Amino acid sequence: MTEKLHDPDILADAADWRARDLAVLWHPCTQMREHQGALPLLPVARGEGAWLVGPDGRRTLDAVSSWWTNLFGHAEPRIAGAIARQAHTLEQVILAGCSHLPAVELAERLLALAPRQRDRDPLAKVFYADNGSAGVEVALKMAFQWFRNRGDEPRRTKFVALENGYHGETIGALSVGDIPLYRRVYAPLLMEALFAPSPDAYLAREGQDAAGHAEDAADALARLFDEHPGEICALVLEPLVQCAGGMRMYDPVYLRRARELCDVHGAFLIADEIAVGFGRTGTLFACEQAPADARLGGSAGVQPDLLCLSKGLTGGFLPLAAVLSTQAIYDGFLDDSRERAFLHSHSYTGNPLACAAALATLGIFDSDDVLARNRATAARMAELSAPLAAHPHVADVRQRGMIVAFEMAQNGDRRTPFAAARRTGLRAYLHALERGVLLRPLGDVLYWMPPYCVGEDELALLADVTATAIGAATA
């Protein structure tokens, strides 16, 4: 391998790589103009643990887990092996009318692991889609059609989502998202959703704690439900962390309140755990962290009616989404009429390779005590990030499990962000890339969301580079 990397042909290729790329590729979520200027493209020839390796052998730490997908490192051999074995057995088959074991086994395993509330019927059925956005579309359409099929509440057609939330880029998913940069231009195409104030602790009033702010946001959600009696079919939210919205975090008490409000008002709760699922926030699913209701003496955790999973589901190897639903929702589509069926499909629904990757990923959770290791890693991340809270241009350092975020602001307070034109986040990105760390910020928020296999030396490098990147970007 090393020998091959120093092959002069490959080095020549690397020099040529960017030009070839820019001649033919249109990159996601990118102003392509920037790649003609200051923003370099990072050529990646292979991955190794938490590292990306360029054609010239140059190593870059993948501090954002390749858009939050990777869990156990790049080219993880157990997952790679499972995909290879599956590829030699059954690569794909139509899932309408046919069945294959990887899809069945994965559904069984996901349902067994899903968040559960003792006083509710458990999540009982799995519908597959190809990516996170498609999974959100599935959940929205299921919630809407369930009421349509029942026919007795014709006005129940609206969705409630949270301000600053993100659920994907397709038109339906974008409609329940509230990030102006992604949404504004398409606004005329979007369906109308209702937005409730975010429980985001960063927005707490002076002197108010995260739980107090979450309670206030829940009160506002209650008023929104009251203003639209019998009109709301579902509430969709990202449990605990609004990731694309700048890794904004909120108190788990909000999940408890949201669950109760949905029940009181007869609406479904859709939990979008596409980014936070699979151990990212400290528990296997973020919904598990909702506190018990002291008055009802219940147990901790909330169970959604629809749970959307993707990203880490395959360990970061292949696109796949799973939407878990209750038996009651599933039963609402059983009928003599085909029109009452859920006629949604994707060509690759339940792709066997992706299911095999997901099964191997869940196998690693079984064999490696991932959550315990993550707890230790998260504690180390807390120690290493703490000193940055004192930086004069850092307004907030926040953490939930394996996610740490640094909010850069002009005066180090919550009221004076840097002017957008200053491109503070981009400056930090360029600095970090120069030093061998891929820290792709969200606006002026830098964050750590490393693969779970990240080690002590890598975390130390990450902390060091983050400190100098913040220094360089805010100077």
Ligand X SMILES: *Cc1c(COP(=O)(O)O)cnc(C)c1O
**Of 200 and 272, which CB lies nearer to ligand X in the complex structure?**
272
Cα distance between residue 250 and residue 255, in whole Å: 9
**Of 239 and 332, which CB lies nearer to ligand X in the complex structure?**
239
Cα distance between residue 134 and residue 167, in whole Å: 10
User: In this structure, what are the phi and psi dihedrals at residue 393, rounded to the nearest 5 degrees?
Assistant: -115, 15
Alpha-carbon torsion 203, 208, 209, 215, what sign?
negative
**Of 218 and 274, which CB lies nearer to ligand X in the complex structure?**
274
CB of residue 165 to ligand X, shortest distance in Å: 8
**Of 272 and 444, which CB lies nearer to ligand X in the complex structure?**
272
CB of residue 278 to ligand X, shortest distance in Å: 12
Does 413 belong to an annotated binding site?
A: no
Does 68 belong to an annotated binding site?
A: no
In Å, how far from its chain's centre is CA 211? 23
**Of 259 and 311, which CB lies nearer to ligand X in the complex structure?**
311
CB of residue 179 to ligand X, shortest distance in Å: 11
List of residues 6+ apart from 189 with CB closer than 8 A:
171
In this structure, the number of other CB atoms found within 10 A of the CB of residue 293 comes to 16
CB of residue 300 to ligand X, shortest distance in Å: 22
Beta bridge partners of 195: 161
Q: Could you tell me the CA-to-CA distances from 340 to 149, 150, 182 in Å, in that order?
A: 6, 9, 33
**Of 166 and 250, which CB lies nearer to ligand X in the complex structure?**
166
Does 35 belong to an annotated binding site?
A: no
Does 166 belong to an annotated binding site?
A: yes
Cα distance between residue 55 and residue 44, in whole Å: 7
Per-residue buried b or exposed e for 365-398, using 16+ beta carbons within 10 Å of the residue's own CB: beeeebeeebeebbebbeebbeebeebebbbbbb
**Of 275 and 473, which CB lies nearer to ligand X in the complex structure?**
275
CB of residue 309 to ligand X, shortest distance in Å: 10
Interface residues toward ligand X, by CB under 6 A: 131-133, 136, 166-168, 238, 243-244, 272, 274-275, 310-311
DSSP string, 74-136: BT-HHHHHHHHHHHTT-----SSS---HHHHHHHHHHHHHS---TTSPPEEEEEEESSHHHHH
Does 88 belong to an annotated binding site?
A: no
Residue length of the chain:
475
- Tokens at residue 401, please? 């499990």
Helix ranges, 196-252 (H): 210-227
Cα distance between residue 75 and residue 101, in whole Å: 24
CB of residue 440 to ligand X, shortest distance in Å: 13
CB of residue 302 to ligand X, shortest distance in Å: 17
CB of residue 212 to ligand X, shortest distance in Å: 25
Does 67 belong to an annotated binding site?
A: yes
Instruction: Tokens 């010239």: give the residue.
Output: 56
Task: Give the residue at shortest CB distance from ligand X.
Answer: 132
Does 440 belong to an annotated binding site?
A: yes
In this structure, the number of other CB atoms found within 10 A of the CB of residue 279 comes to 21
CB of residue 294 to ligand X, shortest distance in Å: 29
**Of 17 and 254, which CB lies nearer to ligand X in the complex structure?**
254
- Tokens at residue 174, please? 């974008």
**Of 243 and 358, which CB lies nearer to ligand X in the complex structure?**
243
Does 448 belong to an annotated binding site?
A: no
Does 345 belong to an annotated binding site?
A: yes
Cα distance between residue 320 and residue 356, in whole Å: 11
CB 63 within 8 A of CB 449: yes
Q: Which residues are annotated as a binding site for substrate?
A: 67, 166, 311, 345, 440
Q: Which residues are annotated as a binding site for pyridoxal 5'-phosphate?
A: 132-133, 272, 346-347
